[in-house]
């Protein structure tokens, strides 16, 4: 056949019909691929939203232990459980727990050093030697608490779930 034969309308239709006829094996492969795609969206498959919700629930189960006080107040009038927000878990904070007997907390913006000291002493039954506060670059108030020699920050961190 020459090029002219292919350009005629009848020849084009004839070529298209030949191309549309596929062997049975190729057709079966396409059907199997379609079935796999449909299985992804079946009810049994986990959607991204469900996976995110499950991940959130798993994270909640690993919540950090901060005991709730019986509405005791600090000197400035804050409840003890309002003073401490959460213990900080970072490489530097964990190093301070192990090496210097210090534990780091993110605290309420309005909490003073005295509030932090009394909250930690009453909530966790430990003796606080010193409290240093600073504002980090994220705008949070951070308290670095050094515990007395009779108490170990490692034990408190284990109790809190930090280490």
For the segment 106-127, what is each residue's pLDDT rounded down to a tens digit? 999 999 999 999 999 999 999 9
Residue 73 sits in the same domain as residue 111: yes
Q: What is the CATH number of the domain that holds 155?
A: 3.30.70.330
**Residue 147 has what pLDDT?**
97
pLDDT tens, 35-57? 555 555 555 555 666 667 766 66
Give the three-class secondary structure for 107: strand
Domain count, the chain: 2
Would you place residue 137 in the very low, low, confident or very high pLDDT band (cuts 50, 70, 90)? very high
Residue 86 sits in the same domain as residue 152: yes
Domain limits for position 11: 3-60
**Would you list the DSSP string of 69-81?**
PSS-B-TTS-BHH
Are the C-beta atoms of 134 and 113 separated by less than 8 Å?
Answer: no
Residue 79 sits in the same domain as residue 126: yes
Q: What is the enclosing helix (H) or strand (E) of 26? A: helix 24-40
Residue 105: name the closest of 131, 126, 127, 125 by CA: 131
**Residue 93 has what pLDDT?**
94
Distance between alpha carbon 109 and the CA centroid of its chain, in Å? 24
Residue 102, pLDDT above cutoff 60: yes
Are the C-beta atoms of 101 and 134 separated by less than 8 Å?
Answer: no
Identify the residue whose tokens are 């019909």. 17
Lowest mean pLDDT among 35-49, 67-81, 110-124, 149-163: 35-49
**Which DSSP letter does residue 22 get?**
-
pLDDT tens, 1-36? 555 555 555 555 555 555 555 566 666 666 666 555
Residue 83 sits in the same domain as residue 149: yes
């Amino acid at each position: 056949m020459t090029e002219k034969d292919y350009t005629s309308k009848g020849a084009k239709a004839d070529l298209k019909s030949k191309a549309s006829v596929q062997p049975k094996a190729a057709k079966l492969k396409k059907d199997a691929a379609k079935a796999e795609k449909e299985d992804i969206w079946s009810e049994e498959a986990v959607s991204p939203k469900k996976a995110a919700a499950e991940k959130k629930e798993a994270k909640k189960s690993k919540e950090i232990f901060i005991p709730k006080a019986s509405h005791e107040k600090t000197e400035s009038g804050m409840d003890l459980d309002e003073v401490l927000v959460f213990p900080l878990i970072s490489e530097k904070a964990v190093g301070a727990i192990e090496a210097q007997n210090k534990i780091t907390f993110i605290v309420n913006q309005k909490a003073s050093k005295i509030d932090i000291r009394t909250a930690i002493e009453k909530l966790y039954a430990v003796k606080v030697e010193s409290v240093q506060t600073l504002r980090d670059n994220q705008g949070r108030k951070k308290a670095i608490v050094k515990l007395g020699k009779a108490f170990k920050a490692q034990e408190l961190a284990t109790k809190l779930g930090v280490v």
